Structure 1
Amino acid sequence: MGETRLDIARIRGARGVIDPVFLGSPLYRCEGLGARLGCVVSVKLETANPVRSFKARGTEVVASLLADSGARAVVCASAGNLGQALAWSGRGRGIEVTVVASRFAPSVKLDRIRALGARLELVDGDFDMARERAAAIASYDGIRLVEDSLDIETCEGAATIGLELVDAVPSFDAVLIALGGGALATGVGHVVKALAPGVEVICVQPLGAPAMTRSWRRRRVVTTDSTHTIADGVAGRRPIPAVLDDLLLVADDAVLVQETSIITGMRMLLDHAGLVVEPSAALGVAAILEDRERFAGRHVVTIVCGGNVDMDAYHRWVGPTPGRPS
């Protein structure tokens, strides 16, 4: 593997500053899911924490460094999960957090950002417009702009998931990783390729938000004019060049999946694992559904990366959950 921006020693050190509530997330073999998919499926459950996503692993590293430097304010753009995570990490360290998000983001994510004490500013556009506004606030106020995936701390915090996978699973053949901005994919991918190079690193993105996958395939940044997917957490249009460079070194494949497969994946995670997840967290299952032959008989780890989903939308997609009238 070539040189990425990430460093294994720093990743190991990150575990010392991340609140333990975000570490050691459940990892288990899901027999019901595997039986339906024709392979051995292990689930890494990153929703079993106070912000219901993996993002706090990275924001804990960011906020720790900011607190050590005496910083008292920070701003980020977020599709919802990063904002919650940064609000949590900043609140615990006395750092004022501003989050810029699209007003079309799921209300459950926006409400949680507010509840965690962050100042929330909404824009009439998508995540990339929110990113532009957050950069303007940072410049005007002279405060730190946290950029998910570009800031190496967000990648190396997410990479601690990779350490847990390599330490806990005796052997697995492939890991399926949701691909959005790239922090999760480059972080976990870096660790897996460094410590378990025989494992296939497969990134998964919706067909309706394909910018990073197209960029990986063409080995150059490819942007899109719009996105059309229910997986709001991975719906970026403009890949970051430095992140793409890292992804090119650690990913063995990047695949696109259809919306119907994402919804089926969400339903299967509910029916066979008892998990209510947001669409991005079902991308790994969707990838298996669309290429069963590729994964047949193999041991696959899928990272369930987020559980912040609007329940009204969830019921429209998946149907009523057990015990709830339709």
Structure 2
Amino acid sequence: MTGGGMDLLELADVEAARTLLTGVVRRTPLVRSGPLTRMIGQPTWLKCEHLQRAGAYKVRGAYTRIARMPESERGRGVVAASAGNHAQGVALAAGLLGIRATVFMPEGAPLPKVSATKGYGATIEYAGTSVDDALIAARAFAERTGAVFIHPFDHPDVIAGQGTVGLEILDQCPEVGTIVTSIGGGGLISGVAVAVKALRPDVRIVGVQAAGAAAFPASLAAGAPVKIPRCATIADGIAVQRPGDLTFAHVSKLVDDVVTVSDEELSAALLVLLERHKQVVEPAGAAAVAALLSGKVGAEPPVVAVLSGGNIDPMLLLRVIEHGLASAGRFQRLSVRTPDQPGELARLLGEIAKTRANIVDVLHSRQNPRLAFGEVEVQLSVETRGPDHSAALITALRDAGYAVAQSGTP
């Protein structure tokens, strides 16, 4: 097959990768989601690639690519650039194969991902403040030293390895009607689409990008890969400014739809997975679920959502949980003005207590220049039971005579 003038992979390529990966990667669980089945009204399953070795599907493609290197290249080592999951996949794969690995990461890369990459035996180098900066440095290192550059998505072996996720889904859920997965550079969805469309052309394949890093919709509209000016999303795992040439050819030919989700929708999905499924995923790993919950996927049941990764910085997890609670209407930041008199703060807190809302923190300030003389501002973080409870809280405070402003989501 060809697409956009470029040779596409075939089923045999993915099946060969599956043979190569046998005993190396985990056959990750496919679990039925009762909560999502009820929420979206269709039988829904979760493909748990966040439980893969190194915490993401990336090791499938990295191992396939590195294992197929000729002996003449192995002694030169490999080099990669990544903010996290690809770094860990390359480090693990290279370590398993006894090959030296150097990984360039941007300054400020999440410390848990840096530590994990080092733990798998790679040498870490820092370059710039973005993955693009790290890529430039990694390519320069490859030219200078002869190390083999391992692309995170735009290589046939990488795509073939990632495609083994699709073969597993067909084995585990032969009746699948729709597969939904995140898209960054497009390696995962390209491989999945190659495998699934060859065996079950009726299955609908849907990709999900973060709205703040949506290079594929613009590229598909233009008919060629387009570089977006910047990425602004909490989903660092899919923050890619330009699709690969090879992955674009696969997506444009084989993928049925690409949709986008906001950071608020990603946060809400992550919270659902954490609370209702006891699954810890990173924002990129929750993208498929975010698209389903927000009604953006025209799905034929049953639906399989791929949880692509679980490598999340605990500090980011705290912020995302708070963001998710706010998106779900269960967390409010309020600013309330009260007279600067003894007992007024206690009266305000008492009014909140009457509504059975839970106060998380309180900041009492007299320094705001917008305040009138004899007036104070009280900023509160409050947990509620949902949007209706939040609305009732604000109404109760206003009925009690308070000027209330919502500070928005975190």
Return the TM-score normalized by structure 2. Answer: 0.74
| Unmatched segments (≥5 aa) in structure 2 | 324-359, 361-410
Corresponding letter in the other structure for 1:192: V
Do 2:2 and 2:8's aligned partners in 1 also have CA atoms closer than 8 Å? no
The residue number in structure 2 matching 1:76 is 80
TM-superposed deviation, 1:319: 4.4
1:202 equivalent among 200, 206, 211 = 206
Do 2:176 and 2:203's aligned partners in 1 also have CA atoms closer than 8 Å? yes
Say whether 1:289 aligns with 2:319: no
C-alpha distance in 2 between matches for 1:49 and 1:285: 18
1:239 equivalent among 212, 237, 243 = 243
Do 1:98 and 1:121's aligned partners in 2 also have CA atoms closer than 8 Å? yes
More RCO (CA 8 Å, sep 6+): 1
The residue number in structure 2 matching 1:323 is none
Q: How does 1:294-305 map to 2 (within 5 A)?
A: 294-295=298-299, 298-305=301-308
Say whether 1:26 aligns with 2:29: yes
The residue number in structure 1 matching 2:69 is 66
Q: How does 1:165-314 map to 2 (within 5 A)?
A: 165-291=169-295, 294-295=298-299, 298-314=301-317
Deviation per residue, 1:194-224 (Å, 9 max, x gap): 1111111100000000112321233222111
What RMSD in Å do the two structures reach over aligned CA positions? 2.0
Corresponding letter in the other structure for 1:18: L
TM-superposed deviation, 1:292: 6.2
After superposing on structure 2, the runs of 4+ consecutive aligned residues of structure 1 that deviate more than 4 Å are 1-4, 67-70
TM-superposed deviation, 1:37: 2.7
The residue number in structure 2 matching 1:125 is 129
TM-superposed deviation, 1:20: 2.4
TM-superposed deviation, 1:276: 0.5
1:135 equivalent among 127, 135, 139 = 139
TM-superposed deviation, 1:294: 3.5
C-alpha distance in 1 between matches for 2:161 and 2:123: 24
Say whether 1:95 aligns with 2:99: yes
1:115 equivalent among 116, 119, 123 = 119
C-alpha distance in 1 between matches for 2:57 and 2:15: 16
Corresponding letter in the other structure for 1:304: L
C-alpha distance in 2 between matches for 1:33 and 1:42: 8
Do 2:291 and 2:297's aligned partners in 1 also have CA atoms closer than 8 Å? no
Identity of aligned residues (%): 31
C-alpha distance in 1 between matches for 2:267 and 2:217: 20
Do 1:33 and 1:269's aligned partners in 2 also have CA atoms closer than 8 Å? no
| Unmatched segments (≥5 aa) in structure 1 | 321-325
Corresponding letter in the other structure for 1:215: S
| Greater C-alpha radius of gyration | 2
Deviation per residue, 1:87-116 (Å, 9 max, x gap): 111112211001111123222111111111
TM-superposed deviation, 1:43: 0.6
Do 1:128 and 1:238's aligned partners in 2 also have CA atoms closer than 8 Å? no
* Residues paired across the two proteins, number: 321
* Structure-2 change in CA distance of 1:140 and 1:293 (3 Å): closer
Corresponding letter in the other structure for 1:107: L
Return the TM-score normalized by structure 1. Answer: 0.93
Do 1:135 and 1:145's aligned partners in 2 also have CA atoms closer than 8 Å? yes
2:50 equivalent among 47, 69, 72 = 47
Corresponding letter in the other structure for 2:306: I
C-alpha distance in 2 between matches for 1:2 and 1:74: 30
